[in-house]
Amino acid sequence: MINFNKGLAPEDYHLIGFSLGAHVAGFTGMEISNISRITGLDPAAPLFEGYPSRVRLDPTDANFVDVIHSNGDSFLRGGLGSFAPMGHVDFYPNGGRVQVGCNSVFMGALSDIIYGKWNSLCNHRRAFRFFIDSIIKTCTFRAFACDTYENYLRGDCFGCGPTGTQCSNMGYFSHKSNGRGAMYLVTRENEPFSNQFKIRVISTTGQGSTWGKLEILFVAKDGKNETFVLTNEADEIKDTGFIQGLVVAHPNIHNVTHVMLTYTKYKGWIYSGKEHWNIDKIELINSDGDIFTYCGYGTKLDNSVSHHLPLQAGNCTATMPAPSTTAITTAAAALQPHRIAKLFWQVVGSPIKGSQPKPPKLFWKILINEQPDAIDDPVAERYFWSPYV
């Protein structure tokens, strides 16, 4: 009827289904071929996950099927959504099992289902809240391909690749991205949810290790700021590696001009952190791939002091500063040859061969050494002998 009255074709339809509705959309796509797109918002798991594709949502139900998994934990732990992939691209925000800022448990979720309430379905409902937010073009939910969610959290997979197939935008505009397969991202606890950054702090080598808390404050051009904890109080920080991870700032903090970095040493009964720690570089990369850096070889972070570090657009290289001209001159002067003179004298008597021995005589020598560090080197020493007096 709609097709006849409006002149539409299946290719013009985008079906969106939440929970059980995601599978209903899949059944529709199975009956009406060539539907343009189906979006599954945390498709229901009970009686669907693990079953054949003909009784659940799957990639054959439309030309493009995208799925957001927000509550794919086990049913005994309160999970109501499917974790298994069901689309051409499957998004797993915060790992896809539970969501940051949600505290619902099994009994609360079960009572909500029985009594028709929604108070404890926070994890399950996040899927459609993410989708609604994604309609706003300034709210980009960029997700990235990675072998595991744990590796993604470490910042190992935060790029789209040379062909753009290693990332995709979760939500309304996902069909405009080239990425396919499993995609990961992290979000904020509350709306607005998206604004990911990858942070890397590179320490100066040769310090050994310390224990302490490292905090970074993002400061935007308009003064808006937000603080993130990079290491906890008792975490070990080594000079042989770097501190790296992902944070999600408020979307208003998009033009970061500088950061405030604070190192607080750990004070324990058995061991404690150092009084200061040195770094060489800070890297900030947003989800669009823009990079902002600070470089300063051996930048000293005193204990419990916030350090203002300006950022520059693009990458930079932290290099060891060249010695000053004064230092070179002083060092050269120290290497200039100089002489050391020493005087030795000795009273020498003649052998007694008769009743009238000769009186003793004074014998002396001068030693001139032009290389003070090589006193025993005969080449470096010159002797001048005196006659008998």
Cβ burial of 224 (10 Å; 0-12, 13-18, 19+) is middle
Q: How far apart are CA 146 and CA 162, in angstroms?
A: 15
E-strand ranges in 55-163 read: 64-68, 89-93, 142-144
β-pair type (89-93, 181-185) = parallel
Residues 69, 88, 124, 258: which is the catalytic one? 124
Where on the phi/psi map is residue 124: left (φ > 0), alpha (ψ -120 to 50), or beta?
alpha
| Marked catalytic residue, from 42, 66, 90, 133 | 42
- For residue 124, indicate whether it is catalytic: yes
Residue reference for tokens 């001139």: 368
In angstroms, rounded to a whole number, what is the distance separating the alpha carbons of residues 272 and 265?
7
* C-alpha to C-alpha distance for 99 and 108, rounded to whole angstroms: 16
Q: Which residue has the tokens 């020598």?
A: 365
**What is the per-residue burial (b if ≥16 Cβ within 10 Å, else e) of 164-186?**
eebbbbbbbebbebebbebbbbb
The answer to whether 42 is a known catalytic residue is yes
C-alpha 232/C-alpha 129 separation (Å) is: 31
How many residues would you count in the chain? 389
Q: Which is the catalytic residue, given 19, 120, 168, 203?
A: 19
Catalytic residues: 19, 42, 124
